[in-house]
Chain A
């Protein structure tokens, strides 16, 4: 029985097409005696058993999590992606300018943005940032393309609902300017008129070709106020 002896491998430099190339020479396959093979085999089996024993005897290497029981303490991994949300400052303001980069980047039309010119600021302001949780593939492209770091994928879970319409909703909690435009408006009275509160389900949800009761089908990107 020929056995591979890793100690027999040696490195050397060879001339290949005018260049010196470092090569690792595989050792010669050597034929050893019967007893050597038996003891070598037993030794390698024991090595394997030594590797697996700590796994079998200890509980510290177990990676399984007892999900419903540990939901209070369960932390998802940093790279786990689930719910798309606006990053908000302390006053609940987002930084989305409604530039639609994310809408264009989205591979399956899960993001539809409605914008309007703000009466006070004269700039584009997000009226509704509609996200289709039911269609989203969590590819994270919207987060990558956002020039203003307005979006993030939250690591929360348990999003199951009984009606899929509940999965199409507005990310923004107010229709109005983004955070830096607020600061430019100095008049206190004017500031109060900047934003209108909206709920996640305000307005019709454009179902991108699908119709549901109370909500006719619309083409992709066709937003429009209800």
Chain B
């Protein structure tokens, strides 16, 4: 009985100290080179494990959820409820012939999927999953996120260009136009949060939400920014209703028509991890990331919320957003290219600018919840 004392827990609100793996390595460096190297190794293993396991889980989930949305069961045969289906598919993709089509630009064709995956990995590095589970943190985090997610389109463009296939080419060009367009709106939405948080550092943005998540603390402008970010980021990761670059019905498979085996798997993996990343960043910026549900001033309530570990908060929020994106996919029809462009340039962009301006006013006059803290 004496071990657990609720009063003691509630009396002391938790202070989250962010310790990234990179900062641990840097701290350990003067003392022990080995310890520092071990932290770096741990970070690498962590990123690779996150990449592989999240990919496996998300592909399985997508197929299950797709099945249920279509009155089907989804994978049921490989393992109980088909949980090993993705493993089996991965093995199949690994042993498939690595095929480069005739007349393709061989070097670019081989490099393209790695570029796509590289962008994904670079983003995984900075994603704050919990105060201690973040590989690296930097003071220009938001700029980094925007820059790298724009870099991902390089792989898609190169893949489509080098395939020597008109479907791939059209798909890649569409992807380029789409991703670069929607990048603007996504950035405008993130800037709203940057205005409120006053920092570009991702862990700083999470910690700035200790009194409440920006989606409700910044009320109106926060919600609008969140909606814009969800729409724009869904377009950035080429998912339905913005899967125009793939467009099965018109472009075979779009930019990855000519890809098979492991390099197709890389594109596929990058696509699914990007979905996880987009959900993770949306959670980080608008739903508080790993920050538990706090209301400024209610220390007792906040302490109760702190009983759930930070990582679990992040996982729950990200899962909910991933489900939202999958839900979009099985509900909305695909947009036409011109509709997609109109949505961005005539609707999202003006709304985003107005919203950013309104957010600036809200911040300037302190019209949001708990501005003093």
Contacts and interface: CB of A to CB of B under 8 A. Distances in A.
B331 A48 contact: yes
Interface residues of B, number: 19
B72 A64 contact: yes
Interface in B315-329: 323, 326-328
Interface string B328-362: 10111000000000000001000100000000000
Contact of B73 (A55, A57, A62): A62
Contacts of A66: 73, 76
B332 A48 contact: yes
Given A48-B331, A49-B327, A49-B331, A55 B69 contact: yes
B327 A52 contact: yes
A45 B76 contact: no
A143 to B, nearest CB: 32
A45 B326 CA distance: 14
A53 B67 CA distance: 13
A61 B71 contact: yes
Interface string A31-71: 00010001000100100110111011111011110100000
B330 A56 contact: yes
Interface in B55-91: 65, 67-73, 76
Nearest to B328: A49
Given A52-B331, A56-B330, A64 B71 contact: yes
Given A49-B331, A62-B73, A66-B76, A38 B347 contact: yes
Interface in B34-70: 65, 67-70
A56 B73 CA distance: 11
Contacts of A42: 227
| Most chain A CB neighbours (cut-off 10 Å) among B65, B67, B72, B331 | B331
Contacts of A49: 327-328, 331
Contact of A56 (B65, B76, B227, B332): B65
A50 B204 CA distance: 36
A42 B72 CA distance: 28
A52 B333 CA distance: 13
Nearest to A63: B71
Given A45-B332, A52-B330, A38 B73 contact: no
A36 to B, nearest CB: 12
A163 to B, nearest CB: 30
Nearest to A35: B351
A130 B343 CA distance: 67
B61 to A, nearest CB: 11
A54 to B, nearest CB: 10
Nearest to B66: A56
11 contacts: A38-B351, A42-B227, A45-B332, A52-B69, A52-B327, A52-B331, A55-B69, A55-B71, A57-B68, A62-B72, A63-B72
Interface of A: 34, 38, 42, 45, 48-49, 51-53, 55-59, 61-64, 66
The 10 A-B pairs at the shortest CB distance, nearest first, are namely: A52-B331, A64-B73, A56-B69, A63-B71, A48-B331, A55-B69, A64-B72, A49-B331, A61-B71, A56-B68
